[in-house]
């Protein structure tokens, strides 16, 4: 008995293990909408080119619509014996419309078919991710405007460095998300070429119109080389690369939330919506959503690494190894989607402890740089000299266990006689942040201006759709 799929060349059924390792329907069933869309475009083109009859094309289209509806309603029986989404759809189409279904596969191969389906799927993922990142930015911008003047400690090396505003800190992630969106958009531009019609690897002798199918599927153009068309997975790698960088940004922010919500730090609080308790310690409030965002990043980066390893040694053209391109990527994209939505929710939910933030902003002699700048600006000292004088005053403050602005003027003058009482005007955290008016600086008026500009830009994007 010949194998139904392979025709007369094979006379025996594959071994059970061969079937198990070869089957992909458990994963590529998620491509059903893309597969049906590509098949409809292909059938319509075949009819236009006179390769199949208009009647057959019409029946194929109706049958494919029926299958799309069946799958959408959960009434479609996927069969593992048919291996993949392509053969499952074609088999059901044959049941619905008879022999005409067999004409659908004219002038194409599963090689160009799956490459087309997956490009369409990844393109949809990019569009969905862009929308999610825009919502994340909108949430950040709203909170940044709300807290444009809320003082908090800025850190380097996780040590108190200089005072900043909470709004300024949040806008940093708006900028990161903008770069993420740019990377996804760049990937989309390079992705948007159609492999359909490349067939197995060499093209086809049928007079097909690849430009027509590319246009129907909203691709910019058909891919120019049939070998490249069926064997390229750069579009997945590039999108996973963008996803990995984006996931790292989410993880960095999540890590900050974990730190900030610790009672030892206490800069922000999350509500019950984004925290969990302990089964044994009733006092606990754990930032599990943030912790899981950190962990999801591993899935995204792992998907990129996994596919790079799959592709690294493959000669042209299609190899069955490429069947492993989808599961990890789909899981990675899903993990990123969940992480972005969770971070968006936490941004909207978090409540900063403004009093604690302000107090923490002044700890660790955070306005020391302001003192050094005052010495340079007012006393015309070289910065290196001012740095040395400031260091000695900080040491004096530490010796006395007082804040920098609490060091008596006489003790400062013992170190640098030219210092006047005016120096105290720059040593408060409020004065510090207000003075940082350089472009991109943390001054509240800068932050408010940037937040408003971002809000306007995002609203314009939303209206343009």
Q: How far apart are CA 443 and CA 428, in angstroms?
A: 14
d(CA 440, CA 48): 57
> What is the Cβ-side half-sphere exposure of residue 400, based on CA atoms within 13 angstroms?
15
151: how many CB neighbours lie within 10 A of its CB?
27
Burial of 25 (0-12, 13-18, 19+ CB in 10 A): middle
Q: Measured between alpha carbons, how far is 263 from 56 in angstroms, rounded to an integer?
A: 70
112 burial type by CB count under 10 A (0-12 exposed, 13-18 middle, 19+ buried): buried
* Vertex 451: Cα angle to 449 and 457 (nearest 5): 105
User: Any idea which residues carry the catalytic annotation?
Assistant: 157, 278
d(Cα 252, Cα 244) in Å, to the nearest integer? 12
Q: Which of 241, 258, 329 is nearest to 293 (CA)?
A: 258
């Amino acid at each position: 008995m010949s194998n139904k799929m392979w025709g007369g060349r094979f006379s025996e059924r594959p071994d059970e293990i061969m079937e198990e390792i070869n089957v992909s329907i458990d994963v590529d069933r998620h491509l059903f909408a893309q597969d049906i869309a590509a098949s409809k475009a292909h059938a319509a083109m075949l009819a236009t080119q006179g390769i199949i009859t208009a009647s057959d094309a019409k029946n194929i289209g109706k049958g494919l619509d029926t299958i799309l509806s069946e799958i959408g309603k959960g009434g479609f029986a996927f069969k593992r014996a048919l291996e993949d989404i392509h053969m499952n759809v074609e088999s059901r189409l044959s049941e619905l419309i008879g022999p005409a279904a067999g004409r659908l596969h004219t002038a194409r191969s599963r090689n160009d078919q799956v490459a087309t389906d997956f490009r369409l799927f990844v393109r949809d993922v990019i569009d969905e991710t862009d929308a999610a990142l825009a919502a994340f930015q909108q949430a950040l911008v709203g909170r940044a405007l709300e807290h444009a003047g809320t003082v908090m400690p800025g850190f380097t090396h996780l040590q108190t460095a200089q005072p900043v505003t909470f709004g300024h800190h949040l806008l940093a992630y708006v900028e990161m998300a903008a770069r993420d969106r740019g990377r996804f958009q760049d990937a989309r531009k390079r992705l948007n070429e159609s492999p359909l019609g490349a067939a197995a690897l060499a093209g086809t002798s049928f007079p097909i119109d690849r430009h027509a199918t590319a246009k129907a599927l909203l691709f910019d153009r058909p891919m120019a080389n049939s070998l490249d068309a069926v064997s390229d997975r750069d579009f997945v790698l590039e999108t996973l690369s963008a996803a990995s960088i984006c996931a790292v940004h989410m993880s960095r922010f999540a890590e900050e939330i974990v730190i900030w919500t610790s009672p030892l730090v206490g800069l922000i609080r999350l509500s019950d919506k984004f925290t969990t308790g302990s089964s044994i310690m009733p006092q606990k409030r754990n930032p599990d959503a943030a912790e899981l965002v950190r962990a999801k990043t591993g899935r995204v980066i792992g998907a990129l690494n996994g596919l790079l390893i799959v592709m690294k040694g493959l000669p042209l053209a299609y190899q069955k190894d490429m069947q492993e391109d989808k599961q990890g990527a789909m899981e990675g994209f899903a993990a990123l989607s969940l992480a972005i939505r969770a971070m968006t929710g936490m941004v909207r939910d978090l409540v900063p402890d403004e009093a604690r933030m302000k107090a923490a902003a002044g700890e660790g002699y955070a306005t020391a740089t302001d003192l050094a700048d005052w010495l340079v600006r007012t006393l015309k000292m070289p910065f290196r000299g001012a740095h040395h004088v400031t260091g000695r005053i900080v040491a004096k403050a530490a010796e006395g266990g007082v804040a920098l602005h609490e060091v008596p003027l006489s003790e400062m003058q013992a170190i640098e006689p030219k210092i006047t009482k005016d120096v105290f005007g720059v040593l408060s955290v409020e004065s510090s942040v207000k003075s940082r008016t350089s472009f991109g600086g943390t001054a509240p008026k800068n932050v408010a201006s940037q937040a408003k500009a971002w809000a306007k830009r995002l609203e314009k994007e939303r209206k343009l759709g």
